């Protein structure tokens, strides 16, 4: 009888119960996730223990966030470039936190440019089955943009726009906020973390779980078989044995918990206390949104951090977890030297911009980079209104105070944290300052005294400034001969070869027969424009074209500006999207809004020879003796 029941159940699981299972699952998911109602505090974002087991800290919201509503606009990218070429090392700890060039508009910044985005970009955990915010652009530097012809601070601060994070779905208060690191992030870390389920794996796991539960229920009702727990476990083990590895990782070991798994979904089931009460967050979390970003009141400082609410003397301004960095990893070398890069033969000629945002000590090789909302933009003032101190958080490991810098830099995870604490009452709207230390203060004064603008500094124009202007038209190559754009700028166009409905094989044969290897195609693209498909282009011609537009009453024609351009590779295309070296791609009917200005590589202020670089000082009275060399 057991064997018969086992076979009946097995058939049920793999029969077509999809519609019934989806109905069962949807009804349960709709009931799950109702937020615990409690009094709302003034703080809207908290840093607290993640609901993902063994994942450290996470970001939680204390207020409902509607679809497309901004969770924050106060994240800011800080880039580092060509790390492998400068250091000779392929990996370092910030790689676990960085965002690649295509996500921060930095394709044209350098050959290799990654960014640390210290708030949501580093603090928020990623869950491919539950991510609920998407990255977008926030505010450009505006008045905080420093010009290389006038300011000794040019190149000493990031000049990228802030990053915003908007909800992709309704996020009830008390929920953890998850970002999407991308599937590649987890695929590249399989040896470290194992098989991390992706979106389709959670969907498959939900379906298998619901169908199995439905089959067991149907079998119990419609047959005289009473399947034992042992038999159910045997059947479930059989299913697990044939599941894809990532889908297998999303499924529970024990079929007795499937009622709850189906109710919550396989993505939510492992979470611990997914919805936190606001009272719990206030008691166990740290307020994350006490600071906003705006133009600093300090000359040549760029942007600064400002209080979003009153913070009393002794109150927490912001938590600041820290990523440890070996100072040598931020050295930059002359890549054009005969031996090139860090070969042991060349002395460093400078440091990465990241150094200016790190805490350090003159007698230690250990640097600490803080990641939290707007903390990186807290500027220096001797008469400061805040200070750093070691955190009392359980995620801060003060036993590291007894380790050497080499031992700490050998860890593959972060483990230290500061608290930024008010040293006097800070009013809403006040800029927040800490004292960077006497060494930093003297270094800055020396830099200001000796600083002179580089030749032709007045000719430089930031690409964001150009892109914010109302450009009626882009100039053709012929027009630029007498009225050129600034030398640091390029025009770039959106062009994605695989999306073209074109027989390239035939075009290539015809181009080869002509001997000019010129392929001419009409521009087309479906979907949202993505920066990763932007490449350098040369404007050959500009013309007016009729375009159909739908009015309330009837279809109308209107004249729109389009362009004929020659496309080039930008260096990071996939194999199916690269223009072969011998080919010329000319594209016509390119829309005006698919063209933008980008910087020539290494033309940004951070690559100037006279930029300021210095770490922020860790006060002697809190600097562990074991870190001093």
Strand pairing report for 616-617 and 359-360 = parallel
Does the pLDDT value for residue 167 go beyond 90? yes
Q: Which of 351, 292, 281, 347 shows the shortest CA–CA distance to 317?
A: 292
Look up the CATH superfamily of 45-188+278-438. Answer: SET domain (2.170.270.10)
pLDDT band for 496, please (50, 70, 90 cuts): confident
Percent of the residues in the chain that have a pLDDT greater than 70, as a whole number? 89
Strand, coil or helix: 521: strand
68 Cα distance to chain centroid: 18
Instruction: Note the pLDDT tens digit of each residue in 421-476.
Output: 999 999 999 999 999 999 999 999 999 999 999 999 999 999 988 888 877 799 99
Q: What is the pLDDT of residue 417?
A: 98
Asked whether the beta carbons of 342 and 70 are under 8 A apart, the reply is no
Percent of the residues in the chain that have a pLDDT greater than 90, as a whole number? 69
Q: What is the pLDDT of residue 621?
A: 96
Query: Which position has the higher pLDDT, 192 or 606?
Result: 606
Query: Which position has the higher pLDDT, 23 or 103?
Result: 103
Residue with tokens 């993902």: 52
Does the pLDDT value for residue 18 go beyond 60? no
**CA count, 13 A, side-chain hemisphere, 470:** 0
Q: Which range among 29-33, 179-183, 485-489 shows the weakest confidence by mean pLDDT?
A: 29-33
For the chain, residues classed under CATH 2.170.270.10 are 45-188+278-438
Top mean-pLDDT range of 81-95, 310-324, 467-481? 310-324
Q: What is the pLDDT of residue 557?
A: 65
Does the pLDDT value for residue 612 go beyond 90? yes
Distance (Å, whole) CA 598 – CA 481 = 19
Q: Which range among 204-213, 215-224, 383-392, 598-607 shows the weakest confidence by mean pLDDT?
A: 215-224
Does the pLDDT value for residue 491 go beyond 70? yes
Does the pLDDT value for residue 38 go beyond 70? no
Q: What is the pLDDT of residue 223?
A: 62
Average pLDDT of the residues of the chain: 88
Asked whether the beta carbons of 361 and 628 are under 8 A apart, the reply is yes
15 Cα distance to chain centroid: 42
Q: What is the pLDDT of residue 343?
A: 62
Q: What is the pLDDT of residue 339?
A: 66
Average pLDDT of the residues in 308-326: 97
Distance (Å, whole) CA 393 – CA 461 = 45
Q: What is the pLDDT of residue 549?
A: 54
Q: Which range among 145-154, 280-289, 335-344, 488-497 shows the weakest confidence by mean pLDDT?
A: 335-344
Q: Which of 442, 477, 460 shows the shortest CA–CA distance to 607?
A: 460
Does the pLDDT value for residue 34 go beyond 60? no
pLDDT band for 502, please (50, 70, 90 cuts): confident
Average pLDDT of the residues in 591-607: 94
Instruction: Note the pLDDT tens digit of each residue in 525-543.
Output: 877 777 778 899 999 999 9
Beta-bridge partners for 70: 166
Query: Which position has the higher pLDDT, 22 or 620?
Result: 620
Distance (Å, whole) CA 288 – CA 279 = 15
Query: Which position has the higher pLDDT, 543 or 102?
Result: 543
Average pLDDT of the residues in 67-83: 94
Average pLDDT of the residues in 307-320: 97
Structure tokens at 597: 């200005």
Does the pLDDT value for residue 348 go beyond 50? yes
Q: What is the pLDDT of residue 31?
A: 27
42 Cα distance to chain centroid: 27
Element (H, E) at 232: helix 229-242
Structure tokens at 375: 């903390």
Q: What is the pLDDT of residue 91?
A: 86
Structure tokens at 577: 């999207």
Does the pLDDT value for residue 550 go beyond 70? no
Q: How far is CA 550 from CA 9, 199, 558, in A?
A: 57, 38, 10
Q: What is the pLDDT of residue 35?
A: 25
Asked whether the beta carbons of 290 and 309 are under 8 A apart, the reply is yes
């Amino acid at each position: 009888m057991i064997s018969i029941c086992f076979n009946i159940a097995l058939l049920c699981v793999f029969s077509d119960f999809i519609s019934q299972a989806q109905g069962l699952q949807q009804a349960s998911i709709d009931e799950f996730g109702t937020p615990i109602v409690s009094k709302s505090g003034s703080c809207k974002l908290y840093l607290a223990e993640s609901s993902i087991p063994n994942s450290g800290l996470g970001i939680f919201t204390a207020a409902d966030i509607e679809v497309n509503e901004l969770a924050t606009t106060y994240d800011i990218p800080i880039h580092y470039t060509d790390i492998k070429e400068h250091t000779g090392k392929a990996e370092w700890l910030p790689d676990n936190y960085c965002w690649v060039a295509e996500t921060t508009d930095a394709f044209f910044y350098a050959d290799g440019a990654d960014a640390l985005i210290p708030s949501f970009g580093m603090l928020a955990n990623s869950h491919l089955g539950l991510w609920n915010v998407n990255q977008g652009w926030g505010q450009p530097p505006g008045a905080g943009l420093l010009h290389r012809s006038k300011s000794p601070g040019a190149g000493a601060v990031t000049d990228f726009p802030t990053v915003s994070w908007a909800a992709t779905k309704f996020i009830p208060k008390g929920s953890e906020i998850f970002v999407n690191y991308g599937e590649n992030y987890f695929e590249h870390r399989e040896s470290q973390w194992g098989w991390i389920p992706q979106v389709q794996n959670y969907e498959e796991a939900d379906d298998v779980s619901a169908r199995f539960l439905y089959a067991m229920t149907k079998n119990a009702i419609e047959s005289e078989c009473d399947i034992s727990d042992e038999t159910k476990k045997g059947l479930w083990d059989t299913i697990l044995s044939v599941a894809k590895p990532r889908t297998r990782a999303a499924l529970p070991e024990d079929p007795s918990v499937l009622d709850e798994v189906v109710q919550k979904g396989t993505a939510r089931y492992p979470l611990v206390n997914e919805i936190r009460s606001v009272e719990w967050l206030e008691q166990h979390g740290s307020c994350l949104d006490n600071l906003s970003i705006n133009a600093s009141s300090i000359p040549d400082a760029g942007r600064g951090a400002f209080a979003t609410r009153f913070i009393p003397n002794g109150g927490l301004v912001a938590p600041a977890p820290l990523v440890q960095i070996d100072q040598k990893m931020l050295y930059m070398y002359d890549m054009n030297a005969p031996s090139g890069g860090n070969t042991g033969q060349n002395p460093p000629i400078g440091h990465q911009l990241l150094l200016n945002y790190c805490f350090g000590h003159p007698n230690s090789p250990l640097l600490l980079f803080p990641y939290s909302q707007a903390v990186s933009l807290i500027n220096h003032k001797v008469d400061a209104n805040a200070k750093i101190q070691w955190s009392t958080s359980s995620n801060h490991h003060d036993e590291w105070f007894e380790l050497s810098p080499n031992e700490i830099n050998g860890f593959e995870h972060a483990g230290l944290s500061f608290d930024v604490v008010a040293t006097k009452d800070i009013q809403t709207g006040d800029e927040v300052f800490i004292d960077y230390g006497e060494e930093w203060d003297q270094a800055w004064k020396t830099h200001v005294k000796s600083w002179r603008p580089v030749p032709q500094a007045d000719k430089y124009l930031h690409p964001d400034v150009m892109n914010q202007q109302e450009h009626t038209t882009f100039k053709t190559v012929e027009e630029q001969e007498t009225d050129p754009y600034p030398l640091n700028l390029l025009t770039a166009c959106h062009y994605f070869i695989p999306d073209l409905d074109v027989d390239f094989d035939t075009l290539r044969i015809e181009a080869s027969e002509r001997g000019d290897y010129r392929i001419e195609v009409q521009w087309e693209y479906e979907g949202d424009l993505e920066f990763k498909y932007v490449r350098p282009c040369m404007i050959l011609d500009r013309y007016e074209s009729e375009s159909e537009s739908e009015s309330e009453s009837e279809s109308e024609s209107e004249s729109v500006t389009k362009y004929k351009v020659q496309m080039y590779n930008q260096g990071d295309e996939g194999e199916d999207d690269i223009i072969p070296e011998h080919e010329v791609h000319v594209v016509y009917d390119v829309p005006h809004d698919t063209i933008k200005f980008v910087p020539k590589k290494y033309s940004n202020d951070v690559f100037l020879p006279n930029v300021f670089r210095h770490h922020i000082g860790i006060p002697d009275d809190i600097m562990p003796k074991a870190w001093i060399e």
